[in-house]
Structure 1
Amino acid sequence: MNTPPGSLPDFDRLFDRPVIILAAPRSGSTLLFETLSQSPDVWTIGAESHHIIESLPALNPNAGKVTDNRLDARHARPRIVTMLRRRFARFLRDRDGREFFHHRDRERLRFVEKTPKNALRQPFLDSVFPGARYIFLFRDVRANLSSMIEAWRSGRWVTYPRLGGWDGPPWSLLLPPGWQTTNGRPLEEICAFQWAAANRTILADLSRIEKDRWISVSYESLTGATQTTVERLCEFAELEMDERFERHLGEPLPLSRMTQTRPDQEKWRRNEALIQRVLPSLEDIEKELEPLGYRRV
């Protein structure tokens, strides 16, 4: 890019066709993000973007400007777009941790972004990053719900510790529209509400953009057929694969930094009774996901 020191980069070129992962919380998006981040031409901010997006009061429910995590094109005012692009650019780094602002001679840079709250933000992100590509990741609802329940219980994923009007435990994970209706409800119903809101919103939003700009993938294929699954995703997103990336894929994927307990296909049964209570209310969304390759394992 050959950007002179101290000057702003060409943001349209810098964020050309970025890759954005859309997924419900605890569905394996960190593992996918960390795997794609091994591509030699991928640059990320090194973590999730909560602190970047919600550092702007207009996008933060705690500031009272919005009431939840749903953002659409109306929220992407020119000043907001410019500020976000600058902030993302400031933290960009490659797989070796080299910062973009110290290595501006890159001729090709692919930005990969993920945070579960983005499940509710696709129209907004499309305005910030025109032409973005999207990867829709989903997971067996039973395993996904169980992991969400455990996340709430652990207290490690609290996102809004002082949510006004909320009488339950400190709010964890994403904050969908209508969250107020879950006040006083059992934890499994709150998690089912979050899972349904995330997947239903992603399905609806992606149905409104060009089909060649998004692809779907299951967590089970990512972990069970890693090599072929990641190759398919890289072909879709036009991400480069080199020998180092190939070696990474040839070995068992390391646990993601967000892993709470070691993976186990039957782990969800620890919360089986709770999950069985809410499964009937989620069957319609599961059916919508089936044409994309969703199935219970």
Structure 2
Amino acid sequence: MTKPVFIFSLPRSGSTLAQRILTRSSAVASASEPWLLLPFLYTLRERGQFSEYWHGRTVEAVQDFCEILPGGEAAYRVELAGFVRRLYGRAAGKEAIYFLDKTPRYHLVAEEIVEMFADGKFIFLWRHPLAVAASIMETWGGGRWKLHAYKIDLYTGLENLVDCYELHANRALSIRYEDMVSEPEATFRSIMEYLELPFEEEMVDSFPEVKLSGRMGDPTGTRQYFALSDEPLSKWKKGFCNPVRKQWARSYLRWLGTERLSTMGYDHDSIMAELDAIPQQMKNLGWDVLLRTYGIVYCLFEPAIVAYKLRTAKRWFRVHSHR
């Protein structure tokens, strides 16, 4: 039976690169980003979802069902794991030993996933936190401020991943993006040893040949890089050169704190010193002030939901509440 292996990381942390290299092994199958477990696990969460079908009532109904189910909620999770495992197996085919699920937003349900899959493998992939933020702005903001749209990743997600890793470190493997690109052979040897699979040297060199099905994954790296490069390691500094961004970065590092960063493999004081050493510029300053203000409004009032309602206002019977 196919075993699941999960890469837990924030977006823009190199998970697509790791996935492409690992799937060069015939023992590892994957799809770009399945996202399978999120909607199913949220059937047990009262918060975090607004829908036309009233998500809160759905959770109550599932809870009531679990009360009459022999084994209760634990049995529900076992059956859910079995269902997803069978899907992984069918997608993987007969040759693969593992199906790799690389879904960044699994940071929201990482703890549940680890508990559900007793035979699962769990790779925690970390990246310099300011490099993640800079890459988000570059990739999805065109170089402008867009971190408000990814607060759930940068704060809740990272907090969840650190907590989950600390709780299950004896079952998991921790790697860093920086080591993956600067010392790829050593890094992937350790991963394959963790998976109890042989390391093949050509995995690292031939990953550009991997074409994963699906629309998710890294929209830029797969086009820009056809070999491992350490260029991104210092690229983040270009994104944190003006006073507004430096102020946010210092605040974010204070929130992360020494202990969390140490769990991830980074030193708080060293990162702060790197940030302070960046020459100050005024690039994008005006836009950053404007977009950070917009971000406050965006997070409070969810304009995307309002816009959806306005688009449907011509057919009034379709405008309704979401719960």
Same fold (TM over 0.5): yes
Of the three residues 124, 142, 162, the one matched with 1:136 is 124
The answer to whether structure 1 residue 236 and structure 2 residue 221 are counterparts is no
Unaligned runs of 5+ in 2: 57-71, 212-216, 225-230, 275-323
TM-aligned CA deviation for residue 289 of structure 1? 2.4
Describe the SS at the equivalent of 1:43.
strand
TM-score (norm 2): 0.60
Q: 1:266 to 1:150 in 2, by over 3 A?
A: closer
Superposition pairs for residues 1-297 of structure 1, below 5 Å?
13-15=1-3, 18-44=4-30, 46-50=31-35, 52-53=36-37, 56=40, 58=43, 61=49, 63=51, 64-65=54-55, 77-92=77-92, 100=93, 104=94, 106=95, 109-153=97-141, 187-192=146-151, 194-209=153-168, 211-242=169-200, 246-250=201-205, 258-260=218-220, 262=224, 264=232, 265-273=234-242, 274-283=244-253, 284-285=255-256, 287=258, 288-295=260-267, 296=271
Query: C-alpha separation between the residues in 2 aligned to 1:35 and 1:62?
Result: 37
Separation of aligned partners in 2, 1:133 and 1:275: 37
Distance 1:77 1:229, change over 3 A: closer
For residues 167 and 100 of structure 2, what CA distance do their matches in structure 1 show?
22
Using the TM superposition, give the Cα deviation of residue 147 of structure 1 relative to its aligned residue in structure 2, in angstroms. Answer: 1.4
Letter in 2 for 1:81: A
- The two structures have a TM-score, normalised by structure 1, of 0.64
Residue 291 of structure 1 and its aligned partner are, at CA, apart by: 4.6
Quote the offset at 1:230 in angstroms. Answer: 0.9
The DSSP-based 3-state class of the residue aligned with 1:266 is helix
Cα distance in 2, alignment partners of residues 195 and 35 from structure 1: 26
Q: CA deviation at 1:111?
A: 2.4
Contact 2:77 2:116 (C-alpha < 8 Å) held by counterparts: no
Partners of 1:255 and 1:91 lie apart in 2 by 16
What secondary structure does 1:61 align onto?
Answer: coil
CA distance in 2, matches of 1:228, 1:121: 30
Shift of 1:267: 4.7
Tell me the SS of whatever aligns to 1:40.
coil
* Distance verdict in 2 for CA 1:270–1:203, change over 3 Å: closer
Q: 1:228 to 1:259 in 2, by over 3 A?
A: farther
* Deviation of 1:28 (Å): 0.9
Structure 2: distance between partners of 1:285 and 1:254: 37
Measured after TM superposition, the shift of residue 149 of structure 1 is 2.2
Q: Percent identity?
A: 20
CA contact (8 A) 2:162 2:263 kept: no
Structure 1 residue identity aligned to 2:250: P
Distance in 1, matches of 2:240 and 2:151, equals: 13
Tell me how far apart the structure 2 counterparts of residues 286 and 41 of structure 1 sit (CA, whole Å).
39
Shift of 1:31: 0.8
The letter of the residue matching 2:197 is L
Give the 3 Å change call, closer, same or farther, for CA 62–31 of structure 1 in structure 2. Answer: farther
Q: Where do 5+ consecutive residues of structure 1 fail to align?
A: 1-12, 67-72, 93-99, 155-185
Shift of 1:37: 1.3
Q: How many residues align?
A: 229
Q: Is the 8 A contact 2:14 2:177 kept in 1?
A: yes
